[in-house]
Structures are given as structure tokens and as C-alpha cells.
């Protein structure tokens, strides 16, 4: 049944089913589930379910969006409710559909009875049938959950079926394998019975109908006169080869084969044959099932004639002679034989007296050239003859020879580290690190040239040690040396590096000149300063010897100092005493000048050490808005007060005083201060000797506030835009003010050229929505800013706009490729508006906007967002807002694999632990595989069980029987649905599981690691793959194109917006050190910025092992948390500085919002010593669990 409505608001909907007890659509206690047909209208925005407890009286409704089904929660059990559905769009809402009613079931808490008598029986080689006696339930059994494990004694059960009957046919099993089953019943309310007993069965072995492969390479060879040996390459079989059937016929061209043997190995010795006769053989393989292969090719052989048993005579006269350093020639007199000599067996041993001979050759002539021998070595030889029948003669006598010694052609290594040092004015000592040689270094050839830059070297010595004393040289002269090593064979090494030295100058015997103009002056009561004019010397003055005596006419001088400068401060003297000084100069050779004239001075009387009294009664008073007057009672002093030191600090409670004045009177006027500000003062007195009194008490005062007479700046960039036919939106750039802008006064006049403005609004923000206007009319606006003191700015420029004419055909609408998911969540919006449109204005609900027709936008943080679209055209604007349209989840759960002892657990909503599975996993990934808005858990259980998916945290389903190297989530085809990118290793390469339904190959080469990022900043997921050292890092862009990013293979990769410009960057660790990103691989941590440029972030000499991007300080910019191993955890904050976060190394790092407050939390597994800890909200550490884990994976797995 449908109701039809005229005009653009006409919709039709029909409630076609009220689902209250079907297992596929369960209605639990307090709930009702409904489904309905879609409206016939093509521009429906969504549906609303209306309901109440009386027919046609709907007190409550719920907006379900564009879904065609809904579950209404929190209803009263036992009560009857009435339901109807309406459709709506931007033009309005339709009438009600037909009404449906139902009584809401009460809660069912009683579980079914346990299923009994489970029995399993094999159904061939790939299936097992399971039957049981059904359970009973107070309401009704909805079905059964059948679990299976592999092996006769297995205990790791996993759910494989949910039948509703009391039998289950399990197919696709492995032949000849034992499986165990258990099950439990479930009712519509989800109550589970206990487990049944286990039932076991083994699949049958598969029937073998496949024949072995054909035996290959049959070869027959006579074994004397009565036997032939047959060998071949064995066959293969899907189960196993049982043996072979060998057939034989008589004659070189025979074809009448008969079976003669059934060996199980790949050889057969056929005996009892006729001497000198030809035989032919063929064979085929057979397996245990009796399957016969095809025949092999034919092999032929002839038995030997009657055996020859007479041996040849012994070879005689063996003679050996050296042929250089690596060969010896052996000759002998040949043997004779009744049939014929076939050849000789030559044996050799190493050493002049050796006896351990080994065969080295089988020549057929009477000579043998033995090569490849060791130089200078003795060898011994013996031999015997052999005939065609294999009869061996006795051994010959032994012959000996020694190879020549090998010539030495290898030069010594180059001498290293030559060092030259002067030994006086006529000699230089040269030392170096010796060379090495394969035989031995015989000596060195030393060459010398004259001058600091000379190159004309000549040999001056041939020492055999690693040093050389070069004497008879010219004083004060530079010499350069180089050398090379030589061995006994005359082989010369390359030249060493050059060593240089200069001989010393000739000895200095000339004394310096006498110091002149000595002057002494008292420096207080205990010191005298002495100055003079310095001496000169032919080489240089080394210093001075200062002598002193006590008294105005004293002559008993004693040395008191040896300064190197032309002054000396003599301290520790007696106050009021006269001292006399004289001095002489000395050079480096110890030559002394004559004495200077004497200089005298007397120390001052004893110093004043008594400080003045403390200044008292300090008083401060404001003198307007920029000055404070300070007065006090003056201090007293035993000699006299010289002045005061006044100190000031800023603030009513300040303590950081700084000196601001040194008045000599008892007052101070402090000017140039800030209006309306508190200042504090303290002071102390000082006398002429610098003695300071203690500080006075503190005096405080505040300057007066300054009047505000400065007007705000003029508002700029006013812009007016029509908002439909009755409103105009006005925006402008705000003014600034020395104190603060209080608001704006907006004036308006009517007409395109009007000048009669009148004030219409006083907004405090920089926008004003003027409504209630006349359609199709021009308006002009101007405004000025005002501050709290009433100062008015000048008028802004005039902005004009005209309201739109009345419109009816224009309508705004849009859709999105996804409306729910986890942050960061990219969304592609598609406009679906009608009418002639000239402009678009989007607001995404998170502060971002766009004017693109079909924009893409990424929601970086969790939350529920309303999206608005305004379209302009036909002289007006239409808008639509979809409230709560985008729902971005938080990764507020953790999936933690605690290893083989504990299995996989979930930390849900930061409150409770729940076990997910008892079997440990190789890896875990999170993705919304079925595209229903709830994250699924993709668990790789390793090679034994393969990859499974925990769908909606409710049921397990297998994904693939293979285990993977790595798994990442990406929307490869940009349709808004999560895809999985999985590396199955070197045999299968990298594959993509697209849209929860089909497999597609990505690359045939296995990779080291992968991440997902928008490298080219076009709003689409790109897959960044590290193919290892052989190929480097590549990006699969936009689901179509491979491009190489770098030839290096990093330790790890992470996505982050390092430079905070809204574009994904890549962060990679290439180990320790510094260097160019392209020319010097393997050094430090680098960022690949904006898809184009490499920049090094860190070059510390500790190789980082892992890192992630996370906004630790919650300022909207990505930070990097990097584990430096023994150096602990560090944060790279806001692309500016490094800060250590923890001194311990982390086993794993993860980002999550565990407390669901919109701020990133850092989850770190510190290993067995500290367990798993959380750095919450950038504030501090909190322990999460004391046990270390195999992996920690964040997600929102329970849909909350």
C-alpha cells in the first residue's frame, strides 16, 4: 500500500515487514526491527521512523538517514507499539506510510540446554557429517554454533558454522586428516548453552588414480660375461612409487619383451646371461594402487666375451724429472699383455720419503705430465698396468723428483707513517712503519730533496731498519723525504707519503736589550703595579726577571716574579710601605740583559671596610601613568655615604630586582614606566670604598592607567553577497586597536548608488547577516569599528550586493562515499543539486570549507560532523545541512596479542579486558572490510591456520589459507571502502583484497614493509612499498602507477605531516650518521616532504629501530616519537626540536585515543621488565598491563 502526494514534496513509503523473531534480524528485549520499500521519488534525502503506544499517535521519531531498515531501541517490554515511516528532502517531509504494530518482547535470559549425542562421520576424503540431538529452550532455539579444531587431540577450537538444524556437513577438508568438533546452542536473545562433548572423525584418504611418471635415462652396461647392470632415473608419483617392472628381449634388434624383474630401487643386476650376447631392456613404474606408468625408452648392452684373467707385466724403468716450479714429467718402459694393455694407473705421494700413494692419472701411453704442483716440493711416483679385463700388474719401482722453487715477483707493501723530526741544527731523524713482503723485506731506499716544496728527490741512504739519521745538514733549512721498500729479488714497493722537517737555527748567544722606563704605582694598600718598556732580541724575548727590595733606599734585591709581558702586579704587600723594583730580560737561550733602572712606590694606608647603615622608611608614590617617586631616610657611615643603589622589579609580588639608578640624595624619580603597572623598589647605601649596606625594606606603587584616546584602524575588505532573495551576508577584515576592538557599527542604504546610510547593526564579530530584505533589490553597506572608550575608526569602503529574485527550481543536495569510519578518514563528497548552478560553498563541520563542486576532505579527529552545501544560481542561493552526517570514530580500543601463553585480548573503552582468541597471531590489522562503519579485526594466525577476520567483533570468517609477511589497510580504488594490501612472500607476491569480495594482484615481488599515505596530495590513498635493498622504496599512486621514491631500504617508515602544511610526508630511518639523501645512503632519519624533497631530521649515531607520528602536545601538528634503543624514546616536536620522553627502549609503539577525549595517547610496550604503559594526553605515564605483548594494535573494534 502506498500513499501518493502531489507537488515536489510527494513521497511514498511502505512498511513491508516488522521483524521481531527472525534469527537473521533479531529483535532483542526492548527493541523492534523494521524494514520498508524505498520511496519512488528520486531525490529522497532520508527517512524517519515515527512510533508511539497508540495507533496513529506517534509521539517519537528517529531520523535513520537513507537506510531502508532500522532497529528502534529502549522500548518497554510487553507493551504494544505502532510504527509508520516518512521520507524527507530539502523541500519537506512526506505523509505517513501504512502502520505496523507489534508487542515488544521481554528480556530472555535463560540459555538453551546443552546439545547432546554429537556424532561425526567421514563423508569421503574431503567432508565430515556432524549430527546431534537438539537443545530445548524456554522461548526457542535459534541455532547452533559449531566449532572445529585440527588433530586427534586438538583443543584450539574455532567457530566454522552456525546451522539452525541438528546437522552440519563440513566440506573442503584435507584428506586423511582428523578433526574434532564441539557445539553450543543459542536462542534469539543471544543466550548460549554450555559446550557439548567433543566428536571426532577422520576424512578418508583420497583414491589414487594417478599413474607414476615414466622412468627416464635407462642405461645398461655389461658386468662381465654373464651379467648386465641396468640403472635409471626414478619416477615420481602423487602418493608414492611402489616399484618397477623390468622387461627384456634377446638380440640387438629384438622387440619381444618379457618381464624379468620387479625391483623397488632404480637399478637391476641381470645375471646368468650368455657371454658375448646382446640384450635390450625397457621398464615402467607402478604405485601401490596398481597404476602403471608408460614404458621407458629401450637400453641395450652386450655381455663380455669369456673373461681375461691374465695380468699385464710390471712397467719398468720409471723416471721422473722436474719441468719448472709446478710440473714433473714421468716416463717408463711399457708393459705387455696376452690380450693387450689398456692403460696405466699412476699413483703419487707428497714428500721425499712418503708412502701414502694415491692415484692421480690413468694414461694409456708410457708418459705422464703432472702439473699444478707446489714449487720447491718433492714428489714420489709408482704405477701399474691394467688390461681391458681389469687385470692389474704389480707396482713398478718408485721414481722421485722435486719441482723448482718459484721466482719472487711480488713487491713489498708501501712503507707507511713516515715522520721526520729535527735533531739539532745539522741533523734530522726519519722513522716509518715497516713494509711486509711475501718472502721478506731486504731494506729501504731513502730519497731527499732540499726546500719546503721541493720535488727533485735523490737517494741518500739504503737502511735495513725502519729509521734513518740524516746528518751533516744545513742549520735552519727545510728538507723533504720519501722512501720505498725492496726485497731480495729487487722488487720495489711504491713510494711512501712525503715527510718534512727543518733543522734548528744556529745557537743564540746574544742577550736582549735592557728593559727601559720602569714605573711603579700603588694599587691600594696591599698591591703595587709595575710597568716598563719591553726589550728586543735577535731571536725573541722569552720573559723578564723582576726583583724587589723593601725600603725607600734599599739595595738588597731578590727575584719575585718572571712575567712574560711588560707589566707585573705585586700583591700581598704591607700597607703604607715603600718598595723598590728592578728587572732584566731573558731570551729562550737563557741570555740575560743588564738590569733596568730602579722604580719605587708606596702602598696606600689601610682600606675602609665598614659599610654604611641600611637606608630606612622607603616610600613609593605614583606620579601619573608613567612615573613613580621614591623617598627614604638616609644612611650614615664612619667615613661618609657616597650614594645609593636603587633596584626595581615589575609586578605586585615580583622578586627579580635589577639596579635602575645610583642617586646621591635620598629621593629618586623613576620615569618612562608602563601605565597601570605595579612596581617594587629596594635600595642600599654605598661609601667611597665601595662598602655596601644591607637592603632596605621594599616599597611598592602602581602607575595610573593611561586614558585611551586612540581609535581602532578602519575595517578593510568589506564584501557583501546575496543569501537568497531576502538576505545579504556581509564580511570584512577586522580592525585592530591599542586596547581592543569592542565591535562594529554597520550602516546600510537602499539602491545601487545610494548615499543616505543609516545604522542597522552593531555586531562584535567580523560578519553580519542582513535578513528581511526585498527580493531583487540592491543594497550598499559601510561600517566602522569602535573600542571600549568609544573611539570610532574611519568608515570602511562601501560594499554592494543585490538580493536574488524569487527562485523555485534551485535545490541543494549531496552525498558522500563514506559517512563513518576512523580518523584520519578521507571522504569524497558528490553534489546532487538541481537547477542551474554557478557556485558551491561547502562547510565540513570541522572548521574547513571548500568551493569545489565535488571536494575531497579528510577528517583528522574523531567526532560527529554536520555538513552543509550552499549552491548559487538563477539569481539566488539554496542550502542544505545534514546534521550529524559524518561520524568519525576513535581508536579507543587496543587489540593486544600476549603470545602463546595467553592469546589475544581486547582493551575496550579504557575500562575492561576481553579475550578475543586463545591462539597467538603472527600479526593483526584493523579495517572496515564489510563497509558497515564498524572496524573488523584481520588476524594472521600463521602458516598453520592462515588469515581470519573477526567481523564486527562478533563472528570469525576465514580470509586466506596462507600466512602473510605484512598486511596494511588502504582504499586503493578510492571508492570509500577499506581494501587490504597483503604480501604473501616470494612465492606469490603482493595482493589486494578489494571491497571485501575479490582478490587482485598488485606486484609479483615480495617486499620488506609498506605504509599508506597520500604522497601526491590528491586526496587518494597511495601504497608506499619498501622492496628491500635490491629495489628501494616505491609508491603505488592512485591505484594505477608505480614510481620510485628512493634507492635505499629504510629500517622503518611512517606517515606524518612534518611541516604542518596539510600534505602527507614520509618519515624513514636509514640508520646512523649524516650525508646526502641521494648520494650517501644509510644515514639518519629523513623526511620525504610534500612528495618531492628529502630533508634530514636527525643524524645521531644510534640507529633508530621504530617510530610513529602522533600529536603528543595536542596542538594540531604531528610530532614524531622515535625509539633509539639504548638511548630511549625521543619526541621530535612540531618540526623544531628533540626532547627525550623516556630513558627506556620500547618494544612496540602505537597511537590511540584511549580516554576518548580527542587527544592522542602513546601506547608503549617496554618489554618484560615494565610491560605496557600509556603516555596519556601528553601529561604523564600510566601502567596499562604488566605483561609484555607480541603486538599492540589500536582500533575501534566494539563500535563504541
Residue 1105 — pLDDT band, cuts 50, 70, 90? low
Residues in the chain: 1200
What was the pLDDT predicted at 8?
Answer: 25
pLDDT of residue 2: 23
Q: Collapsing DSSP states into helix, strand and coil, what is residue 1126?
A: helix
Highest mean pLDDT among 222-226, 430-434, 877-881, 1039-1043: 430-434
**pLDDT (tens digit, 9 = 90+) per residue, 856-907?**
888 877 778 899 999 987 657 888 999 888 877 666 777 889 888 888 998 8
Q: How many alpha carbons fall within 13 Å on the CB side of residue 151? A: 8
CB atoms closer than 10 angstroms to residue 56: 10
- Interatomic CA distance for residues 342 and 335, integer angstroms: 10
Distance, in Å, from the CA atom of 924 to the CA atom of 1191, rounded to the nearest integer, reads 8
* 901-953: pLDDT as tens digits: 888 998 887 788 888 888 899 999 988 888 887 888 899 999 888 899 998 88
Look up the pTM and report it: 0.38
Cα 923 to Cα 920: distance, rounded to the nearest angstrom: 9
Confidence class of residue 24 from pLDDT cuts 50, 70 and 90? very low
Q: At residue 84, does pLDDT exceed 80?
A: yes
pLDDT digit string (tens) for 593-611? Answer: 999 999 999 988 777 789 9
DSSP string, 318-346: EEEEE-SSS-EEEEEEPP--SS-EEEEEE
Give buried/exposed letters for 877-916 (b at 16+ CB in 10 A, else e). bbebebeebbbbbbbbbbbbbbeeeebbbbbbebeeeeeb
**pLDDT exceeds 80 at position 18:** no
Contact 430, 467 (CB under 8 A): yes
Sign for the pseudo-dihedral over CA of 386, 387, 389, 393: negative
CB 612 within 8 A of CB 691: yes
Cell output for 51: 512510533
Best CA proximity match to 224, nearest among 257, 283, 270:
270
pLDDT value of residue 891: 65
Q: Residue 298 corresponds to which cell in the numbers above?
A: 629401450
pLDDT (0 to 100) of residue 1102:
55
Closest C-alpha among 611, 608, 607 to residue 526? 607
Give the pLDDT band (50/70/90) at residue 21: very low
What 3-state class would DSSP assign to 294? Answer: coil
Task: Count CB-CB contacts under 10 A for residue 960.
Answer: 17
Among candidate residues 1194, 1172, 1192, 1193, the one with its CA nearest the CA of residue 1184: 1172
- State the pLDDT at residue 1077: 39
Closest CA to 175 of 201, 156, 153, 200: 201
| For the chain, the helix, strand and coil percentages under 3-state DSSP, each to the nearest 5 | 0, 45, 50
State mean pLDDT over 826-848. 88
By C-alpha distance, which of 144, 174, 175 is closest to 160? 144
Residue 58 predicted with pLDDT over 90 = no
Q: Taking residues 1178-1194, what's their average pLDDT?
A: 84
The β-bridge partners of 226 are none
Rounded to an integer, what is the distance from CA 1156 to the centroid of its chain? 25
Task: Taking residues 568-596, report their average pLDDT.
Answer: 92
**Which residues lie closer than 8 Å to 253 by C-beta, 6 or more apart?**
none
pLDDT, tens digit (0-9, with 9 covering 90-100), for 438-448? 989 999 999 99
**How far apart, in Å, are the Cα atoms of 1062 and each of 686, 855, 1096, 1119?**
62, 15, 20, 14
Tell me how crowded residue 809 is: count the other CB atoms within 10 A of its CB.
11
Q: Which residue has the higher pLDDT, 775 or 843?
A: 843
CA distance 1200 to 1197: 8
When pLDDT is cut at 50, 70 and 90, the band that residue 656 belongs to is very high
Looking at residue 180, its pLDDT comes to 96
Q: What is the mean pLDDT of residues 842-869?
A: 87
SS3 sequence of 1058-1115? CCCCCCCEEEEECCCCCCCCCCCCCCCEEEEECCCEEEEEECCCCCCCEEEEECCCCC
Instruction: Collapse the DSSP code of 1125 into the 3-class scheme (helix H, G, I; strand E, B; otherwise coil) and give the result.
Output: helix
Q: Are 748 and 780 in contact (CB under 8 A)?
A: yes
Closest CA relative to residue 727, chosen from 775, 672, 684 = 775
Provide the grid cell at 773. 530584505
Contact call for residues 164 and 133 (beta carbons, < 8 A): no
d(CA 808, CA 54): 39
Q: 387: Cβ–Cβ under 8 A, 6 or more apart, which residues?
A: 308, 310, 311, 312, 337, 339, 340, 341, 342
At residue 577, the pLDDT reads 92
What is the C-alpha separation between 680 and 6, in angstroms, rounded?
82
Is pLDDT at 808 greater than 60 in this prediction?
A: no
Domains of the chain with bracketed CATH? 14-103 (2.60.40.10), 116-202 (2.60.40.10), 216-302 (2.60.40.10), 316-402 (2.60.40.10), 416-502 (2.60.40.10), 516-602 (2.60.40.10), 616-702 (2.60.40.10), 730-794 (2.60.40.10), 814-888 (2.60.40.10), 890-1195 (2.130.10.10)
CB 714 within 8 A of CB 732: no
Q: How far apart are CA 58 and CA 56, in angstroms?
A: 6
Q: Which of 1146, 1122, 990 has its CA nearest to residue 1051?
A: 1122
Report the 10 Å Cβ neighbour count for 405.
Answer: 10
Cis peptide before 1200 (omega within 30 of 0): no
- List the one residue out of 449, 412, 460 whose CA is nearest residue 434: 412
Average pLDDT, the chain: 87
Of 102, 98, 104, 103, residue with least CA distance to 37? 98
The confidence score (pLDDT) of residue 433 equals 96
d(CA 453, CA 457): 11
- What is the edge-to-edge ordering of all strands in the sheet holding 1137-1142? 1106-1110, 1119-1123, 1129-1133, 1137-1142
Amino acid at each position: 500500500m502506498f500513499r501518493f502526494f502531489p507537488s515536489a514534496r510527494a513521497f511514498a513509503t511502505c512498511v513491508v515487514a516488522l521483524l521481531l523473531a527472525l534469527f537473521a534480524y533479531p529483535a532483542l528485549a526492548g527493541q523492534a526491527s523494521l524494514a520498508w520499500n524505498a520511496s519512488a521519488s528520486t531525490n529522497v534525502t532520508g527517512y524517519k521512523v515515527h512510533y508511539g503506544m497508540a495507533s496513529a499517535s506517534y509521539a517519537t521519531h528517529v531520523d535513520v538517514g537513507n537506510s531502508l531498515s532500522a532497529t528502534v531501541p529502549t522500548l518497554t517490554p510487553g507493551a504494544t507499539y505502532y510504527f509508520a515511516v516518512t521520507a524527507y528532502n530539502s523541500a519537506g517531509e512526506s505523509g505517513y506510510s501504512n502502520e505496523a504494530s507489534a508487542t515488544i518482547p521481554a528480556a530472555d535470559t535463560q540459555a538453551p540446554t546443552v546439545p547432546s549425542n554429537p556424532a561425526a562421520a567421514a563423508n569421503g576424503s574431503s567432508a565430515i557429517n556432524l549430527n546431534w540431538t537438539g537443545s530445548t529452550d524456554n522461548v526457542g532455539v535459534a541455532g547452533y554454533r559449531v566449532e572445529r579444531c585440527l588433530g586427534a587431540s586438538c583443543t584450539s577450537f574455532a567457530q566454522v558454522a552456525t546451522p539452525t538444524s541438528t546437522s552440519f556437513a563440513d566440506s573442503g577438508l584435507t584428506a586423511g586428516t582428523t578433526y574434532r568438533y564441539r557445539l553450543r546452542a543459542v536462542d534469539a536473545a543471544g543466550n548460549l548453552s554450555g559446550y557439548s562433548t567433543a566428536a571426532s572423525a577422520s576424512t578418508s584418504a583420497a583414491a589414487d588414480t594417478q599413474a607414476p611418471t615414466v622412468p627416464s635415462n635407462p642405461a645398461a652396461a655389461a658386468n662381465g660375461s654373464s651379467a648386465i647392470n641396468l640403472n635409471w632415473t626414478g619416477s615420481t608419483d602423487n602418493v608414492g612409487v611402489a616399484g618397477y617392472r623390468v622387461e627384456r628381449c634377446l638380440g640387438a634388434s629384438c622387440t619381444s619383451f618379457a618381464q624379468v624383474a620387479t625391483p623397488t630401487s632404480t637399478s637391476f643386476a641381470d645375471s646368468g646371461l650368455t657371454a658375448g650376447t646382446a640384450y635390450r631392456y625397457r621398464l615402467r613404474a607402478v604405485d601401490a594402487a596398481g597404476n602403471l606408468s608408460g614404458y621407458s625408452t629401450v637400453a641395450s648392452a652386450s655381455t663380455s666375451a669369456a673373461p681375461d684373467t691374465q695380468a699385464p707385466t710390471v712397467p719398468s724403468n720409471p723416471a721422473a724429472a722436474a719441468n719448472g716450479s709446478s710440473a714433473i714429467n714421468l716416463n717408463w718402459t711399457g708393459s705387455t699383455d696376452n690380450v693387450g694393455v689398456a692403460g696405466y694407473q699412476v699413483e703419487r705421494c707428497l714428500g721425499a720419503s712418503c708412502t701414502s700413494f694415491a692415484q692421480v692419472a690413468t694414461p694409456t701411453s708410457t708418459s705422464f705430465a703432472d702439473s699444478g704442483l707446489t714449487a720447491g716440493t718433492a714428489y714420489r711416483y709408482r704405477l701399474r698396468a691394467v688390461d681391458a679385463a681389469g687385470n692389474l700388474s704389480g707396482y713398478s719401482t718408485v721414481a722421485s723428483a722435486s719441482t723448482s722453487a718459484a721466482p719472487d715477483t711480488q713487491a713489498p707493501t708501501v712503507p707507511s707513517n713516515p715522520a721526520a723530526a729535527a735533531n739539532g741544527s745539522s741533523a734530522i731523524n726519519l722513522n716509518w712503519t715497516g713494509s711486509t713482503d711475501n718472502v721478506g723485506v731486504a731494506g729501504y731506499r731513502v730519497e731527499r730533496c732540499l726546500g719546503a716544496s721541493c720535488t727533485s728527490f735523490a737517494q741518500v741512504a739504503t737502511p735495513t731498519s725502519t729509521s734513518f739519521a740524516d746528518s751533516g745538514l744545513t742549520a735552519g733549512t727545510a728538507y723533504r723525504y720519501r722512501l720505498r721498500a725492496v726485497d731480495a729479488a729487487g722488487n720495489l714497493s711504491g713510494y711512501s707519503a712525503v715527510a718534512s722537517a727543518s733543522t734548528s737555527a744556529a745557537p743564540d748567544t746574544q742577550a736582549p736589550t735592557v728593559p727601559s722606563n720602569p714605573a711603579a704605582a700603588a694599587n691600594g694598600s696591599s698591591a703595587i703595579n709595575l710597568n716598563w718598556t719591553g726589550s728586543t732580541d735577535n731571536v725573541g724575548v722569552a720573559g723578564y726577571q723582576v726583583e724587589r727590595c723593601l725600603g725607600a733606599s734599599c739595595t738588597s734585591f731578590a727575584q719575585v716574579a718572571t712575567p712574560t709581558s711588560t707589566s707585573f702586579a705585586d700583591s700581598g704587600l704591607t700597607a703604607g710601605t715603600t718598595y723598590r723594583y728592578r728587572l732584566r730580560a731573558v731570551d729562550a737561550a737563557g741570555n740575560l740583559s743588564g738590569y733596568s733602572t730602579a722604580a719605587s712606590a708606596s702602598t696606600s694606608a689601610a682600606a675602609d671596610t665598614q659599610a654604611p647603615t641600611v637606608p630606612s622608611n622607603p616610600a613609593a608614590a605614583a606620579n601619573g601613568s608613567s612615573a613613580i617617586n621614591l623617598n627614604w631616610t638616609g644612611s650614615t657611615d664612619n667615613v661618609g655615604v657616597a650614594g645609593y643603589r636603587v633596584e626595581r622589579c615589575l609586578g605586585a609580588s615580583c622578586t627579580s630586582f635589577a639596579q635602575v639608578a645610583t642617586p646621591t640624595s635620598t629621593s629618586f624619580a623613576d620615569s618612562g614606566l608602563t601605565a597601570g603597572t605595579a612596581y617594587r623598589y629596594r635600595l642600599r647605601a654605598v661609601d667611597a670604598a665601595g662598602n655596601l649596606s644591607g637592603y632596605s625594606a621594599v616599597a611598592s606603587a602602581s602607575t595610573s592607567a593611561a586614558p585611551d584616546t586612540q581609535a581602532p584602524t578602519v575595517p578593510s575588505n568589506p564584501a557583501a553577497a546575496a543569501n537568497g532573495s531576502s538576505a545579504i551576508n556581509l564580511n570584512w577584515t577586522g580592525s585592530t586597536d591599542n586596547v581592543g576592538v569592542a565591535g562594529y557599527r554597520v550602516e546600510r542604504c537602499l539602491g545601487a548608488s545610494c548615499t543616505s546610510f543609516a545604522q542597522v547593526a552593531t555586531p562584535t564579530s567580523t560578519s553580519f547577516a542582513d535578513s528581511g530584505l526585498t527580493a531583487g533589490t540592491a543594497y550598499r553597506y559601510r561600517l566602522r569599528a569602535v573600542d571600549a572608550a568609544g573611539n570610532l575608526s574611519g568608515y570602511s569602503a562601501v560594499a554592494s550586493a543585490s538580493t536574488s529574485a524569487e527562485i523555485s527550481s534551485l535545490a541543494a543536495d549531496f552525498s558522500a562515499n563514506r559517512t563513518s569510519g576512523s580518523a584520519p578518514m578521507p571522504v569524497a563528497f558528490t553534489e546532487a543539486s538541481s537547477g542551474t548552478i554557478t557556485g558551491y560553498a561547502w562547510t565540513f563541520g570541522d572548521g574547513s570549507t571548500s568551493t569545489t563542486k565535488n571536494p575531497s576532505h579528510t577528517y583528522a579527529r574523531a567526532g560527529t560532523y554536520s555538513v552543509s552545501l550552499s549552491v548559487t544560481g538563477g539569481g539566488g542561493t539554496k542550502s542544505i545541512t545534514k546534521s550529524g552526517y559524518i561520524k568519525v570514530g576513535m581508536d579507543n580500543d587496543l587489540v593486544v596479542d600476549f603470545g602463546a601463553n595467553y592469546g589475544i585480548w581486547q582493551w575496550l573503552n579504557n575500562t575492561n579486558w576481553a579475550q578475543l582468541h586463545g591462539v597467538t597471531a603472527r600479526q593483526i590489522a584493523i579495517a572496515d572490510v564489510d563497509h558497515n562503519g564498524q572496524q573488523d579485526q584481520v588476524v594472521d594466525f600463521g602458516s598453520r591456520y592462515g588469515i581470519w577476520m573477526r567481523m564486527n567483533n562478533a563472528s570469525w570468517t576465514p580470509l586466506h589459507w596462507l600466512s602473510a609477511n605484512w598486511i596494511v589497510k588502504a582504499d586503493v580504488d578510492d571508492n570509500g571502502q577499506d581494501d587490504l594490501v597483503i604480501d604473501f612472500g616470494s612465492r606469490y607476491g603482493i595482493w589486494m583484497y578489494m571491497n571485501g569480495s575479490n582478490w587482485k594482484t598488485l606486484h609479483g615481488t615480495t617486499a620488506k614493509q609498506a605504509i599508506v599515505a597520500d604522497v601526491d596530495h590528491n586526496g587518494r590513498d597511495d601504497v608506499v612499498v619498501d622492496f628491500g635493498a635490491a629495489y628501494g622504496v616505491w609508491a603505488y599512486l592512485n591505484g594505477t602507477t608505480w614510481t620510485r621514491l628512493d634507492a635505499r631500504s629504510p629500517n622503518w617508515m611512517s606517515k606524518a605531516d612534518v611541516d604542518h602544511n596539510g600534505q602527507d610526508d614520509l618519515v624513514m630511518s636509514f640508520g646512523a650518521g649524516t650525508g646526502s639523501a641521494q648520494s650517501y645512503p644509510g644515514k639518519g632519519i629523513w623526511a620525504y616532504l610534500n612528495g618531492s624533497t628529502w630533508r634530514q631530521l636527525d643524524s645521531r649515531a644510534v640507529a633508530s629501530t621504530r617510530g610513529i607520528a602522533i600529536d603528543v602536545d595536542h596542538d594540531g601538528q604531528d610530532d614524531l616519537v622515535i625509539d633509539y634503543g639504548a638511548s630511549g624514546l625521543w619526541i621530535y616536536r612540531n618540526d623544531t626540536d628533540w626532547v627525550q620522553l623516556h630513558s627506556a627502549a620500547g618494544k612496540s609503539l602505537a597511537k590511540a585515543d584511549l580516554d576518548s577525549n580527542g587527544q592522542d595517547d602513546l601506547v608503549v610496550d617496554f618489554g618484560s621488565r615494565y610491560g605496557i604503559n600509556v603516555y596519556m594526553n601528553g601529561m604523564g605515564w600510566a601502567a596499562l598491563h604488566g605483561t609484555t605483548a607480541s603486538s599492540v594494535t589500536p582500533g575501534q573494534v566494539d563500535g563504541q
